[in-house]
Amino acid sequence: MDNPHKHRFSEVIGGLVSGVAYARSVADMEAMRIAYYYNQHELLKGMPIPRLRIKHVSISLPIIISEVIPAVPAVRNPAIDIAKSVVDNLQKAIDGAKKQFADIKSLKKQQRIIFEPGEEELTGRFEKILNIALQENVFQRIETQLTDAIENAYVDLNLMEGDTPSDASLREKIGQVAEDVVRKVLTEIISGYIYKKTMDRGSKLDPERANKTIQELMGHEITIRLIHNVRHAAEKKTVIAISIPPDFYVSVNTADVKNTGGGSDTVTRLDMVLHEEGLEWVTEECDGKQVSKLTPE
């Protein structure tokens, strides 16, 4: 547990950086006040407005390192718990999709919706596939496959990063595993649906046409949303506690540094040079909406 009377090395660095950034913001607010004053003054209105830019800040700070804080590894959830959470989330997403299909039918009946060419047929196919998935108990199928896949992923991560992979690595890996498993199961269900429809018609399976149908259904906005929800649920459930990197307890108090026994050998000098890279808000139009983004100045 952290000692509230001690300061971490990371806190000292963060305080220096954030302090300089805040100083720049104070300078900009002052420049804005001066600009307003210049605008109100007849003689100053046409003159350049002074504005401070911080090109770089050089800091030399003596510190005393008093204690090492060991790293804390991430605590991962059991594979079965993650799989159950993913399946629960998938079930909610499918329930939402079924409601969306009902809404689409209602709007179509009221002639308040117009489909693009081929869109109505594609949506109808997708609804049938979801019903088939429910009949085949897709949730149990995904839970079983996902549990095994996550166990294997944990082993792979241990081999690549040791027994203590970071929470970022765990989330990325398990999120991808969950997405791959759900994609595989949905693709198998769609393939079975296409094969059955072809046999019922007494036709010969056309692989090229079947692959095109699979790609269309897997690229459907509802499929994309389902897979996004699955991945998000897996990543969210992967770790119980995040990893914490190692750090130091340090003292930057002038009196402590001055009165430390052992002379200069016990004092560490921190030399930093900070270079400013400004950001600015830029408004762009995306899909008919105004979107504001932070971009380099």
Give pLDDT tens digits for 13-61. Answer: 999 999 998 988 898 899 999 999 999 998 898 899 888 878 888 999 8
Measured distance CA(222)–CA(233) in Å, rounded: 16
Delimit the domains of the chain by residue range.
7-70+246-296, 75-241
3-class SS at 40?
A: helix
What is the rounded distance in angstroms from the CA atom of residue 4 to the CA atom of residue 77?
A: 30
What count of other Cβ atoms lies within 10 Å of the Cβ of residue 147?
Answer: 20
pLDDT at 262 over 80: no
Confidence of residue 235 (pLDDT cuts 50, 70, 90): very high
Cα separation of 192 and 121, whole Å?
18
For residue range 113-157, list pLDDT tens digits in order: 655 555 666 667 767 777 777 777 788 888 999 999 999 999 999
**Residue 81: per-residue pLDDT:** 95
Tokens linked to 20? 């300089």
Is the pLDDT at 281 greater than 90, yes or no?
no
Residue 100 has pLDDT above 90, yes or no: no
Give bridge partners of residue 248 from the DSSP assignment: 68
Question: Where do the DSSP E strands lie in the chain?
Answer: 7-8, 56-69, 75-76, 239-241, 247-251, 268-275, 279-286, 289-296
285: left (phi over 0), alpha (psi -120 to 50) or beta: beta
Share of the chain above pLDDT 70, in %: 88
Interval 174-196: pLDDT, tens: 999 999 999 998 888 888 888 88
The mean pLDDT of 283-296, rounded to a whole number, is 79
Across 45-49, 191-195, 218-222, 284-288, least confident range? 284-288
Which whole number is the average pLDDT over 91-113? 71
> What does pTM read for this prediction?
0.69
What separation in angstroms does the CA of 75 have from each of 143, 156, 164, 165, 252?
21, 16, 9, 9, 33
Give the per-residue pLDDT at 110.
63
**In this structure, are residues 131 and 101 in contact, taking their beta carbons and an 8 Å threshold?**
no
Which among 252, 241, 237 has a CA at the least distance from the CA of 71?
A: 241
